[in-house]
Each structure stands twice: as C-alpha cells, then as structure tokens.
C-alpha cells in the first residue's frame, strides 16, 4: 500500500489546519516512510530487511507529533502488535519494570524490549528527550536493542540528536548513542514557522488536557466562582506513589487535589506521577509559585508532571500565585521549559478582574532565558507565551491528548 501526502491533506482538512511549506516537506518524507513500511511483506514467516526510520525534530508548537500521528494512523499495520505508539515517560516506566526482571541476565535490555514490543515492526517514540545521565545509559541500551531487532523507529523531539543530554559534564557519555541514531535514522528538521494554534478555528470545544484551566492568584472567592470547593483539613488523604505515599488535599468523585510543594518539592519520580494519574480523571494543583523562586528539582518535577497529565489527556485546574508568564520566567529553569509553557498555554486562563494579560511579545521575552538548568541550551524560544502545544490544537482536542 502506498502512503502519500493525500493522507496529510485529509487530516489537515479534518482538523481545520493549514500546513506551511516546511510541514509539507516533512509530510512528504514521512509519506515515503509509510509507503516503505506498507510495501514490505513477510516472506516464509520472516520479515524483509527493516525500513530506515526517521528522527524528526524542531521547535515546540510546530506540529511534529501531529505529522507523526497522521503517518502512524495511515501505515497499514496492526496497531498494538505490528505498530506501537509510545510516550517517553510511559515507555520507560514499563521498561524499568521489565528490565528489573532480567537484570541478572546478559541480554537484559534485549529481553525487556522483546517483552514490551513483541512482534512490533514500527515503533513511534513520541517526545524523545534525554536529560538524566542515569536514564541516558538505559536509553542507549534500548536504542541498540531496537535497531538490532530490526524495528523501524520514528522519533519526535525538540532537540537534534547532538542536543540530547546537553549537560556538558555527561554529554560525552551519550555521544556513541547519538552517533548510532545519526547513522541509523534519517534526521529531519521541521523548520521554524507559524505554530498550529494560529490556524485553529475559534469556538471549538476543548477536551482532554486542553479542557483544564489556569487561575491566579487563586483566592477562595475566585475558586468558588470557578465552581471549586476548597478542601477542608479532614479531607486530606495519603495516596500510594511507588514505594512511598503522597498526601492529597482531597479526593472527590474522580477529582484529586494536590499542593505544589507536596507533589513537586519532595522526591517524587515521574513513575510516581504516572501511578497517581491513575487515581483520578480530573486534577487540581494549587500553590504553584514562580519557578525561579523554588529549587531546580521541584521545577523539573513540575515539568514532568505536566508532561504526564498532558500525554494522558487529563484535565488540570492549575492555581498559581502569579500569571503564567511570571511563573515561567527566570534563570535555571528546566531544559524543556518551552514545552511546558506550550502545554500550559492550552489551559483556559482565569485572571482577576481588571488584570491585563501580557502581550505575546512581552511573554516571549519573559518565558525563560533559553539557558537550561543543566548548563546546556534549551530548544528554540517560542513565539509568544507557550506558542501552542507540540501537537496541533485541533488534533489534541480531537484525540483528547496533548502531544
């Protein structure tokens, strides 16, 4: 079966999007990948030579995940068996668990990947990023195992391969994996340009993470007007997170309340957030400070939490002490603060009466300095506050997910 740009044309019309020249160029390259995958057949029970994959990178808000999603849906392979779509955090939670079962074996990584992917021929790995040196070593093993088993890999990222693990103290440890990615995949850049939010039709219903809202400064009167009831002290409840517990301010009929300092200013892992995300379909997070006024670990955990909730399509009511442009302003912020800003921009904004939100130009100047907390450079700065979700808003709403 031939996968052509017609699939992208239909998807753009469905979602009310207008693709630019750079996006069409990427669509053409991805269509070639799809045709190659659709044209390969198994001979005598064995797959033909693997198809060379693609590493797609570019700034936030440019629609990398929308383009990759469109290709994934068009490839004529059986989902969950022959093709798989996985997010970074979710995959590595599963991989850590599987790897632990084979830790004492020589090919522990290969066994874990085989357990997780089975007969998968095409793996779409969304939001590929590496900032932790410990994770980097495991990621290297995963990449080698995937390529050795002949899996065609499609990865999206805000960074080129050479920008992964940017911390200069540890970057050289990941250089062999970077070289392997560059040698084994076609590295395709999605050029900067108009973000998808500017082509989104007004008045379209919100869903998933985009159904959430941001309130500041979060007075009791403001919360009440928003239909929220402030928890009482006797509603506090401990919830299991990994091997420990996290105290929720309240758990009510599918809605859970947390305080920023309880959830982000303590050693809570991304895996713990994934486990907590299973406890409720609606979240409220209060007490969000200016991230520059908290410690770097807390700011990074907050960014990880937003990734988890956005990828899960979980509506979030976020209550901060200041406008988001000020919350996300300052030095020493997480390396992927632009992605966090992009995702938070999907939330409906509730400001106090008379407050004037910053203009796009002012917000762009305020949203981080471009210097990452680990000493490297973050992804290209966004146009205006947030500059849109990494995926097209229309697709995020349609699927109930934020990519």
Higher pLDDT, 49 or 380: 49
Which pLDDT value is given to residue 191?
93
Q: What is the pLDDT of residues 276-293, one digit of tens each?
A: 998 899 999 999 999 999
Which pLDDT value is given to residue 39?
77
Which pLDDT value is given to residue 123?
96
Phi/psi at 58 (nearest 5 deg)? 170, 180
Distance, CA of 197 to CA of 62 (rounded, Å) = 9
Distance, CA of 348 to CA of 394 (rounded, Å) = 15
Beta-carbon contacts of residue 247 (< 8 Å; ≥ 6 apart): 236, 237, 238, 239, 262
Q: What is the pLDDT of residues 178-197, one digit of tens each?
A: 999 999 999 999 998 765 54
Q: Is pLDDT above 60 for 198?
A: no
Q: Are 385 and 345 spatial neighbours (Cβ–Cβ below 8 Å)?
A: yes
Q: Is pLDDT above 60 for 67?
A: yes
Q: What is the pLDDT of residues 98-145, one digit of tens each?
A: 999 999 998 999 999 999 999 999 999 988 988 888 788 889 999 999
Which pLDDT value is given to residue 380?
33
Which pLDDT value is given to residue 163?
94
Three-class SS state of 389: coil
Domains and CATH numbers, the chain: 6-190 (3.40.50.300), 201-399 (3.40.50)
Q: How far lies 39's CA from each of 76, 184, 344, 368, in Å? A: 9, 20, 40, 45
Q: Give the confidence band of 378 by pLDDT, cuts at 50, 70, 90.
A: very low
Q: Is pLDDT above 90 for 239?
A: yes
Q: Is pLDDT above 80 for 355?
A: no
Q: What is the pLDDT of residues 200-228, one digit of tens each?
A: 444 555 778 989 999 999 988 899 999 99
Radius of gyration of the chain (CA): 21
pTM (2 decimals)?
A: 0.76
Q: Is pLDDT above 90 for 46?
A: no
């Amino acid at each position: 079966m031939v996968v052509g740009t017609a699939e992208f044309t239909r998807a753009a019309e469905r979602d009310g999007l207008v693709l630019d020249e750079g996006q069409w160029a990427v669509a053409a390259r991805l269509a070639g990948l799809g045709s190659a995958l659709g044209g390969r057949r198994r001979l005598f029970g064995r797959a033909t030579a693997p198809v060379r994959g693609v590493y797609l990178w570019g700034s936030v808000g440019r629609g990398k995940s929308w383009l990759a999603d469109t290709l994934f849906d068009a490839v004529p392979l059986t989902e969950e068996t022959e093709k798989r779509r996985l997010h970074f955090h979710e995959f590595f939670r599963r991989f850590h668990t599987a790897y632990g079962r084979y830790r004492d074996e020589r090919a522990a990584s290969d066994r874990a990947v085989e357990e997780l992917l089975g007969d998968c021929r095409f793996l779409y790995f969304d939001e590929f990023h590496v900032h932790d040196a410990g994770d980097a070593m495991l990621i290297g093993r995963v990449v080698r195992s995937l390529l050795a088993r002949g899996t065609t890999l499609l990865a999206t990222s805000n960074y080129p391969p050479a920008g992964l693990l940017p911390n200069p103290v540890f970057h050289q440890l990941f250089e062999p994996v970077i070289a392997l990615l560059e040698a084994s995949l076609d590295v395709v850049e999605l050029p900067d340009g108009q973000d998808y939010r500017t082509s989104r039709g007004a008045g379209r219903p919100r869903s998933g993470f985009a159904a959430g809202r941001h309130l500041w400064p979060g007075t009791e009167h403001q919360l009440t007007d928003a239909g929220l009831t402030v928890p009482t002290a006797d509603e506090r409840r401990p919830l299991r997170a990994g091997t420990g517990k996290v105290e929720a301010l309240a758990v009510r009929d599918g809605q859970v309340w947390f305080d920023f300092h309880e959830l982000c200013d303590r050693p809570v892992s991304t895996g713990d957030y994934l486990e907590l995300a299973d406890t409720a379909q609606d979240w409220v997070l209060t007490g969000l400070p200016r991230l520059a006024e908290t410690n770097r670990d807390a700011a990074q955990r907050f960014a990880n939490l937003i990734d988890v909730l956005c990828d899960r399509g979980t509506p979030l009511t976020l209550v901060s002490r200041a406008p988001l442009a000020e919350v996300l302003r300052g030095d020493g912020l997480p390396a992927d603060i632009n992605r966090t800003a992009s995702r938070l921009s999907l939330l409906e904004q509730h400001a106090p009466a008379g407050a004037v939100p910053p203009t796009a130009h002012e917000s762009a100047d305020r949203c981080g300095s471009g210097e990452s907390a680990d000493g490297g450079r973050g992804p290209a700065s966004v146009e205006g506050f947030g500059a849109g979700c990494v995926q097209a808003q229309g697709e995020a709403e349609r699927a109930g997910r934020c990519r």
